[in-house]
């Protein structure tokens, strides 16, 4: 399984990097729109809402903010913050009371998932297509990869204390700390290479926030799957599951980076 994940990552990361760097703004926006529509499909399939009755819910809760933000621009931080808090509340619900049996499936979970994709996914395009956005999005992606990798390997070798076993049984407190430290170190190194103008303090704060939000985003994605009673959000990436499986660590971090860089 690990070998498959590494091979798939070796293919995906250069492809994503090339798309971020070389795609025209309009193409990247369309790409994000298509990816988000697929994400809404995954939510519908996970939550048992893949039927005609649910189309208005996904069109209003997911589609309206998706295309409104992509083509109308940012309308303020309140909407994404509310959605992030809603996802964190789901994490807390699953962490305290469980939910791996899919008992939370239904319209409420479909609403949460549709808002998660529809409101937060456009920030990939909003960040990337803004001033200095290409470099910022690449930086966020690299820091999130470091955070995920650091948490994985530190947790594998040193992990003892479970972080949120009802949400993600394999995550540990030691792994979370390892991911945080690795991301802060990588942030300092990457800013030196990038030639950034930030001082060490803001760099460390930014890197720490990216790691924290990446790990919270990963837990939020896991909570959504546990509440829906599924192992993976989909099947589109061999060895990695669905689109939401591969983007959950990035979504909160991208929203934060967008407002940090404004």
Predicted local confidence at residue 73, as pLDDT: 83
Tell me the Cα Rg of the chain.
Answer: 18
Q: What are the beta bridge partners of residue 39?
A: none
Domain locations in the chain as residue ranges: 2-260
Query: 189, 203 in Cβ contact below 8 A?
Result: no
How does pLDDT run along the chain (262 residues), one tens digit per residue?
A: 444 445 555 566 788 888 999 999 999 999 999 999 999 999 998 888 877 667 888 888 899 999 999 888 888 899 999 999 999 999 999 998 765 556 677 788 999 999 999 999 999 999 999 999 999 999 999 999 999 999 999 999 998 999 999 999 899 999 999 999 999 999 998 887 766 667 888 999 999 999 999 999 999 999 999 998 888 888 776 666 789 998 999 999 999 999 998 8
**What is the reported pLDDT for 9?**
58
Looking at residue 1, its pLDDT comes to: 42
pLDDT of amino acid 57: 83
């Amino acid at each position: 399984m690990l070998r498959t994940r590494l091979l798939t990552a070796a293919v995906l990361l250069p492809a994503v990097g090339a798309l971020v760097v070389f795609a025209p703004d309009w193409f990247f926006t369309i790409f994000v729109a298509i990816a988000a529509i697929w994400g809404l499909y995954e939510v519908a399939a996970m939550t048992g809402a893949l039927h005609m009755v649910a189309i208005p819910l996904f069109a209003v809760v997911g589609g309206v903010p998706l295309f409104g933000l992509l083509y109308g621009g940012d309308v303020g931080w309140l909407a994404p913050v509310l959605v992030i808090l809603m996802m964190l509340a789901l994490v807390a619900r699953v962490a305290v009371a469980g939910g791996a049996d899919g008992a939370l499936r239904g319209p409420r979970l479909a609403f949460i998932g549709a808002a998660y994709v529809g409101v937060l996914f456009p920030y990939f395009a909003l960040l990337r297509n803004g001033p200095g956005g290409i470099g910022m999005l690449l930086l966020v992606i690299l820091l999130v990869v470091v955070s995920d990798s650091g948490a994985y390997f530190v947790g594998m070798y040193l992990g003892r204390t479970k972080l949120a076993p009802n949400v993600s049984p394999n995550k540990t407190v030691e792994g979370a700390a390892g991911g945080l430290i690795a991301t802060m170190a990588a942030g300092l190194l990457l800013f030196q290479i990038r030639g950034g103008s930030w001082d060490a303090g803001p760099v460390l704060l930014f890197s720490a926030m990216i790691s924290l939000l990446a790990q919270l985003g990963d837990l939020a994605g896991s909570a959504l799957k546990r509440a829906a009673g599924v192992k993976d959000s989909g099947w589109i990436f061999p060895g990695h599951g669905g689109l939401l499986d591969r983007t959950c660590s990035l979504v909160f971090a991208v929203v934060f980076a967008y407002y940090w860089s404004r």
